[in-house]
């Protein structure tokens, strides 16, 4: 396989973080190759979102190392993560409801005129372009995003992640709030981004979401990685066994959380 | 109807506020037998409102970021004492500049802005970095700075106020006169219309939707009539004949038979408040800092995750609020022609009321500077009108309180209906 030859896009090595004595993530390691979709599965509270928020800069790990393209990366805040081309679509979408789509897409990275003021025209123009690709029927550019439907809000959050040449895309429960048609749209987008060589982390507590799209899955339980496995080499039931019992099938690479 | 208004991009809330203000004015004018809508009363109203309006600009930004500042009246009081002591004792006596120095007023103003900004920064630091809620920090500030204001002179009133400094408070010398007022009115009108035309051309260049030409033209008409109308009213308020005579004779001319009428024109404190409003508005709408304030108010977590330095931004809002309190302190001290430790008592309530009546949501994320300034004018109108009606002070407070609650309720109903 090509991706075993290429060097990983991201490696998270032995990451630990505790909140008030509770180990939310315990010595977790995972990796992601260019053009690969990696699913991160586990129950609610298994530590998936916390682990991924460390990669996106929202939390600082107590221990462990993150490498991007083989180099040690220092990610102390969300802005650092973005500098490494790591973009995140949060489960909550993390949109400022009171401002419009363009303001959200460019939040923290506003385009400025040569006088240093906000260039709203240019931002709206670029937002129109990226939204045309994601959601061609979208035209409520002057509305605060509060007034948009769930799918439209999702599009805005995705637009914000892909507009800035992401190399690593994190999608936390991307289809949780969507209908069937919009879910299919997101799946198509994931496939398209994959062909562009972007590495994608897909986080979900529902394996059906992930199974069709992912090349590999990592399973987490109680803050630890149970193991990782190529989707092609395993059945859904075996993955469910990993999620529920923490038991690795023979085809999987066991992690520190695996039951022996 | 709603679709039409949306297409015209007219701010319905603004129209509603102007209508409410119009009703209040007409009502007071009727009940005072025509005393309210006179150039004299409207001019006085504008000067009395200037200090509250200046502070309400900053309060909009504070409330937009889901904070509150209860200490503005006390900061005004303390900064006012500093401003007074600097110009009445420190510079002329302690430093030996004498009372007639040309720069005393400027140093006093800078001291006011500086002390206000410093206090705001300290409070902002405690709120943003130490994580104490703004309600508590500024409630503490309300007591601390009022006490500090007394301490500056052990409660003594500070006078005399520098003659040039007094111009910041209005009065005959603190007004710019008719010719300058007309120039300001005309230039501002042209500038506003020019900027709107420029914005329209940019939208056309990008291929975005624009207002129909007739509605755009109508808006230009309203802008011109408003600005020039206000200018005309202020230019219709003449200074007393005896004073006019003295001025004419002092300039070496002969007082003519029928006398001459000299207009006040815009009062300097009013111009200060308007300029402050324009600058803060610019900051809020056209800069990154302003965009971040609204984002923080809309969703603090999202702002943080976008890489915005939310703590620093929040602290700087309080710095700005403090600077505006310092500016308001200069206006109040100059207008009252003395500095007392009670100046600005209860101002925090009027400033917050003006801001909220002006459409700023206490839930954060929503608010406009021009709305808050209109709110300040509305509050000022109520006070001025009730004074003209000889209403007893307790009754005035009851009315103001009721109007505040009523206005916010109506606004909430409106918001739910129209969105």
Indicate which CATH number applies to the domain containing B124. Answer: 1.10.3470
**Does B98 share its domain with B12?**
yes
**Where residue A1 falls among pLDDT bands split at 50, 70, 90?**
very low
Mutate to test the interface with A, among B294, B298, B366, B416 (most CBs of A within 10 A): B298
What are the sequence ranges of the domains in chain A? 2-85+166-254, 100-164
Token readout for B50 is 């200037």
Which DSSP helix (H) or strand (E) runs through A18? strand A10-19
Among B266, B285, B318, which residue terminates a domain?
B266
Give the pLDDT of residue A210: 85
**Does B187 share its domain with B66?**
no
Compute the half-sphere exposure of residue A259: CA atoms within 13 Å on the CB side of its CA: 10
Section A57-80 average pLDDT: 92
**Does B41 share its domain with B168?**
yes
Section B33-54 average pLDDT: 96
What are the C-alpha distances in Å from B159 to residues B46, B48, B98, B329?
25, 21, 14, 15
**Does B303 share its domain with B392?**
yes
Task: Report the distance separating Cα A99 and Cα A90, nearest Å.
Answer: 18
Highest mean pLDDT among A43-47, B125-129, B214-218: B125-129
Q: Which residues contact B7 (CB under 8 A, 6 or more apart)?
A: B211, B212
Contacts of A110 in chain B (CB under 8 A): 288, 291
Give the pLDDT of residue A134: 83
Contacts of B202 in chain A (CB under 8 A): 121
Task: Report the distance separating Cα A55 and Cα A15, nearest Å.
Answer: 10
**Does B298 share its domain with B361?**
yes
Share of chain B above pLDDT 70, in %: 97
Among B207, B231, B266, which residue terminates a domain?
B266
For chain B, which residues lie within 8 Å of any Cβ of chain A, measuring from their own Cβ? 202-203, 205-206, 208, 285-288, 291, 294-295, 297-299, 301-308, 365-366, 419
Which range of residues forms the domain containing residue B66? 2-175+267-418
Number of domains in chain B: 2
Among B228, B243, B266, which residue terminates a domain?
B266
**Does B262 share its domain with B275?**
no
Q: End-to-end alpha-carbon separation of chain B, Å?
A: 14
**Does B83 share its domain with B100?**
yes
Mutate to test the interface with A, among B205, B307, B308 (most CBs of A within 10 A): B307
φ and ψ of B370, to 5 deg: -65, -35
Contacts of A77 in chain B (CB under 8 A): 307
Q: Considering only the beta carbons, identify the residue of A92, A109, A124 that sits closest to B208.
A: A124
**Where residue A3 falls among pLDDT bands split at 50, 70, 90?**
very low
Share of chain A above pLDDT 70, in %: 98
**Does B407 share its domain with B331?**
yes
Residues recorded for chain A:
260
The ipTM is 0.89
Instruction: Report how many Cβ contacts below 8 Å link chain A to chain B.
Output: 78
Does the bond joining A45 to the residue before it have cis omega, within 30 degrees of 0? no
B411 or A33: which leads in pLDDT = A33
Contact B378, B16 (CB under 8 A): no
Residue B1 has pLDDT above 60, yes or no: no
**Does B128 share its domain with B214?**
no
Domain A2-85+166-254 maps to which CATH number in 3.40.50.410, 3.40.50.300, 3.30.479.10, 3.40.50.620?
A: 3.40.50.300
pLDDT tens-digit series, residues A96-150: 999 999 999 999 999 999 999 999 999 999 999 999 888 888 888 888 999 998 8
Q: What is the DSSP string of A175-208?
A: TTT--HHHHHHHHHHHHHHHHTT-EEEEEES-HH
φ and ψ of B162, to 5 deg: -50, 140
Section A88-100 average pLDDT: 92
**Does B104 share its domain with B217?**
no
Contact B307 A94 (CB under 8 A): no
Contact B308 A108 (CB under 8 A): yes
Q: Considering only the beta carbons, identify the residue of B202, B299, B419 that sits closest to A96.
A: B299
**Does B253 share its domain with B396?**
no
Token readout for B367 is 């608010």
Token readout for A34 is 């260019």
Task: Report the distance separating Cα A164 and Cα A85, nearest Å.
Answer: 8
**Does B203 share its domain with B252?**
yes
Mean pLDDT, chain A, as a whole number? 89
């Amino acid at each position: 396989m090509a991706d075993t030859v290429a060097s990983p896009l991201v490696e998270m090595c032995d990451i630990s973080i505790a909140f008030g004595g509770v180990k939310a993530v315990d010595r977790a390691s995972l990796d992601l190759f260019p053009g690969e979709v990696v699913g991160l599965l586990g129950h609610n509270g298994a530590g998936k979102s916390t682990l991924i928020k460390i990669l996106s800069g929202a939390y600082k790990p107590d221990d462990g190392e993150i490498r991007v393209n083989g180099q040690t990366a220092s990610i102390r805040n969300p802005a650092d993560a973005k500098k490494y081309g790591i973009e995140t679509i949060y489960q909550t979408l993390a949109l400022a409801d009171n401002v419009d789509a363009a303001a959200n897409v460019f939040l923290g990275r506003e385009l400025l005129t040569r006088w240093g003021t906000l260039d709203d025209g240019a931002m709206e123009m670029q937002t129109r372009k990226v939204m045309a690709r994601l959601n061609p029927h979208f035209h409520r550019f002057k509305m605060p995003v509060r007034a948009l439907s769930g799918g439209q809000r999702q599009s805005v959050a995705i637009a914000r992640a892909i507009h800035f040449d992401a190399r690593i895309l994190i999608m936390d429960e991307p289809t949780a709030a969507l209908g069937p048609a919009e879910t299919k749209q997101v799946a198509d987008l994931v496939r398209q981004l994959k062909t562009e060589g972007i590495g994608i982390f897909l986080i979900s507590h529902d394996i059906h979401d992930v199974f069709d799209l992912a090349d590999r899955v990592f399973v987490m339980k109680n803050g630890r990685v149970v193991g990782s496995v190529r989707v092609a080499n395993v059945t859904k039931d075996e993955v469910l066994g990993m999620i529920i019992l923490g038991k690795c099938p023979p085809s999987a690479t066991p992690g520190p959380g695996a039951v022996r | 109807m709603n679709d039409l208004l949306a297409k015209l991009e007219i701010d319905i809330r603004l129209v509603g506020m102007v209508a409410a203000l119009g009703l209040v004015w007409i009502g007071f004018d009727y009940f005072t037998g025509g005393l309210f809508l006179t150039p004299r009363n409207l001019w006085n109203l504008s000067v009395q409102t200037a200090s509250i309006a200046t502070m309400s600009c900053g309060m909009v930004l504070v409330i937009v970021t889901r904070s509150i500042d209860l200490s503005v009246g006390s900061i005004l009081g303390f900064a006012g004492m500093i401003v007074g002591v600097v110009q009445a004792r420190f510079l002329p006596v302690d430093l030996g500049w004498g009372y007639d120095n040309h720069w005393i007023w400027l140093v006093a103003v800078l001291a006011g802005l500086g002390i206000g900004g410093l206090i705001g920064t300290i409070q902002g630091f405690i709120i943003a970095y130490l994580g104490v809620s703004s309600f508590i920090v500024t409630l503490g500030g309300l007591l601390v700075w009022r006490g500090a204001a007394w301490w500056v002179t052990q409660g003594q009133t500070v006078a005399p106020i520098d003659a040039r400094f007094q111009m910041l408070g209005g009065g005959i010398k603190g007004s710019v006169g008719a010719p300058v007022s007309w120039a300001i009115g005309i230039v501002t009108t042209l500038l506003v219309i020019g900027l709107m035309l420029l914005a329209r051309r940019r939208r056309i260049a990008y291929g975005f939707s624009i207002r129909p030409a007739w509605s755009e033209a109508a808006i230009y008409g309203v802008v011109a009539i408003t600005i020039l109308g206000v200018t005309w009213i202020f230019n219709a308020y003449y200074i007393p004949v005896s004073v006019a005579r003295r001025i004419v004779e002092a300039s070496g001319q002969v007082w003519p038979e029928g006398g001459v009428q000299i207009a006040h024109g815009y009062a300097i404190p009013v111009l200060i408040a308007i300029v402050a409003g324009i600058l803060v508005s610019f900051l809020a709408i056209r800069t990154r800092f302003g965009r971040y304030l609204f984002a923080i108010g809309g969703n603090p977590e999202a702002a943080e995750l976008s890489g915005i330095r939310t703590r620093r931004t929040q602290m700087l809002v309080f710095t700005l609020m403090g600077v505006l309190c310092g500016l308001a302190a200069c206006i109040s001290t100059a207008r009252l022609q003395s500095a007392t430790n009670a100046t600005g008592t209860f101002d925090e309530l009027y400033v917050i009321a003006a801001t909220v009546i002006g459409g700023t949501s206490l839930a954060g994320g929503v608010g406009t500077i021009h709305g808050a300034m209109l709110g300040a004018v509305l509050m000022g109108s109520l006070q001025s009108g009730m004074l003209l009606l000889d209403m007893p002070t307790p009754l005035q407070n009851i009315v103001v309180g009721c109007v505040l609650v009523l206005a916010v309720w109506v606004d909430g109903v409106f918001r739910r209906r129209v969105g």
